[in-house]
Amino acid sequence: MIETQPPTTQRPTAGAPAIDARDLAAGYGGPAVWTHANFSIATGSFTAILGPNGGGKSTLIRMILGLLPPFQGELQVLGDKPHRGNALIGYIPQRSSFDAELSIRGRDFVNLGIDGHRWGVRLPGTAYDRAADAAIRAVGADSYADRPIGRLSGGEQQRLLLAQALVGNPRLLLMDEPLSQLDVRNQSVIVQLIGEVKRARKLTVLLIAHDVNPLLSHIDHVLYVAQGNIAMGTPEEIITSESLTRIYSTPVEVLKDSRGRVFVVGLEEEVSHPHG
Amino acid sequence: MDEHAIVATITNTSPQLSWNLFDDIAALFHYEFMVHAFEAGTIVAVVAGAIGYFVVLRGSAFAAHALSHIGFAGATGAVLLAVNPIFGLLAFTLGSGIAIGALGNRLRGRDVTIGIVLAWTLGLGVLFISLYKGYATEAYAILFGLILGISANDVIVTLVAGIVTIGALIAVYRPLLFASVDEELAGAKGVPVTALSIGFMAILAIAVTEAVQVVGVLLIFALIVTPAAIAVRFTSRPPAAIVTGILLALGFTWAGLAIAYYSPHPVSFFITSLAFFTYVFVRLAEPISQRLRRKSLAPVAPAGG
């Protein structure tokens, strides 16, 4: 049995945690994906969810979104039970990219983040337009927000996805692999942007990543999801050979290169590697 | 008696064009069947143009095509049972539409499943035709449309169905748009994506049933998919694309009816040809207009930039 480590005290913890899991387990009816997860995500913190493919990272996000009920245990999201359509959560789903033929403007897509879930047609209103404008400006997408979203580059699409997530003024931002389709330069630009938005809007951010390296200088905590367990701590605590070996009771090696990038070897056959 | 009337009397064939456009247009509405054709055609074009946008956005063109073909078995079956074919058509398109909708929009093998059901129902349709001892006209009308045979009563039925489909589309507009663009995200935001998928296919089934009267099951693409496919090349604003699609569908239908009135060939041929050649023209003209726009936008930019 692995006990999770509490977040370190040097990080600021303002009031109640944004997300609180007690003995949480996830499953779809068959064997549990992971069990006995105990962690607490501080309001206003930036957390990376890491771990090998198929370990249950997206399952955790789905549970926070209220799309999947807890298999066991308790989960509190922003002081409430998770529920579908939570307006306090901004979400960016995992996707390869928009279809190139998708003929809808970036601005229309952002608008859907405001009232896409409401029935009927939207009556023209300046309050809506102002909210969309503000979100588009916040992510620096002004110059291409009126172009078809399918024709934009991966980085541009990712900015509009972020604008869509921000337009409803959420308190919690959930992102499922927002960096996976981007080149290394765009990855760092988008992470920088997420960090800025997070500070400006005092958001709590949870982000699934395949590679921790572009995130290292921005994140407060790491949630490591693998082999049926979830472990939490600071990157320095979690991403070490000793820690990962102990947590997963299997030999894991964390390598560092001369530029400070880390490589995790030994979980699954998979290597957490930077692309390119 | 003017020259035009004399010529028409002597030749005793389809009406001739005069040099007076106003007279020609007035002549179009001389017969009641043409008035009914224009009325029904207008309603169907509005519905088809509007729903076509979502068909294109959702990538459901094959599903729309399949619905109409599956409806063929229902229509011929109804003829066999001496029931109005429109009811058989509606029953089959609605049933299959709901089933396709329940399969969901993301399922990988969906088109294969639809194709298998489609092939079998077409076989059923062939059986029903062979069992029916009457004229082949009924089957011909279902396959290729018989807009010139529409009665005043048909027009009223079409109008009611048209109001239902447009009303339903307005009611589900925003969540349908959301689910069509990003189903995963819409679902997380609380949009009932599966129910919407079923609801959309049910609306589409009614629209297809209406459109079949004009162009028949084989030519449904021309009114539902082609106008919308052209419209999204002109604008990426959803309301503007819907309006453009409706205007194009109206244009094809009206022009097709008008041309067919002065020719011995079927209306469906002209409607589908107008749609097809407009699409081809737009696709061919697009790269040229883009190059021109790029040049005019950046007159001082260095070459190759």
Residues B72-85 have a mean pLDDT of 89
Q: Does domain B28-220 have CATH number 1.10.3470.10?
A: yes
- Phi, psi dihedral angles at A34 (to 5 degrees): -150, 160
Q: Is the pTM of this model over 0.90?
A: no
| Residue A97 at interface with chain B, using a CB cutoff of 8 Å | no
CB contact residues (below 8 A), chain B span 82-141, against chain A: none
Cβ A106 vs Cβ A160: under 8 Å: yes
Residues B270-283 have a mean pLDDT of 95
The radius of gyration of chain B's CA atoms, rounded to the nearest angstrom, is: 21
Contact (CB<8Å) B178/A108: no
In the structure, what pLDDT confidence band is assigned to residue A276 with cuts at 50, 70 and 90? very low
Start-to-end C-alpha separation, chain A: 37
Distance of CA B152 to the CA centre of its chain: 21
Q: In whole angstroms, give the CA distance from residue A172 to residue A58.
A: 16
Q: In whole angstroms, give the CA distance from residue A171 to residue A226.
A: 27
pLDDT at B51 (0 to 100)? 96
| Residue B172 at interface with chain A, using a CB cutoff of 8 Å | yes
What residues of B are in contact with residue A101 (Cβ under 8 Å)?
232
A256-269 pLDDT tens trace:
888 888 888 876 54
- Closest by CA to A162, choosing from A150, A148, A151, A176, is A176
Looking at B54-58, B176-180, B208-212, B230-234, which range is the least confident one? B208-212
Name the minimum distance, in Å, from the CA of B89 to any CA of chain A.
29
DSSP state of A24: E
- Closest by CA to A224, choosing from A208, A205, A200, is A208
In the structure, what pLDDT confidence band is assigned to residue A133 with cuts at 50, 70 and 90? very high
Residues B209-234 have a mean pLDDT of 88
In the structure, what pLDDT confidence band is assigned to residue B143 with cuts at 50, 70 and 90? confident
CATH topology of domain A19-272: Rossmann fold (3.40.50)
Higher pLDDT pick, A12 / A123: A123
Name the minimum distance, in Å, from the CA of B167 to any CA of chain A.
10
List the strands of the sheet with A262-267, edge to edge: A253-256, A262-267, A270-272
Residue matched to tokens 């539902």: B224
pLDDT at A271 (0 to 100)? 43
Output the average pLDDT for chain A. Answer: 87
ipTM (interface pTM)? 0.87
Long-range contacts of B101-108 (CB under 8 A, 24+ apart): B101/B194, B101/B197, B101/B198, B101/B199, B101/B200, B101/B201, B101/B202, B102/B194, B102/B197, B102/B198, B104/B193, B104/B194, B104/B197, B105/B58, B105/B59, B105/B60, B105/B179, B105/B180, B105/B183, B105/B193, B105/B197, B106/B183
Dihedral sign for Cα atoms in the order B190, A76, A232, A35? negative
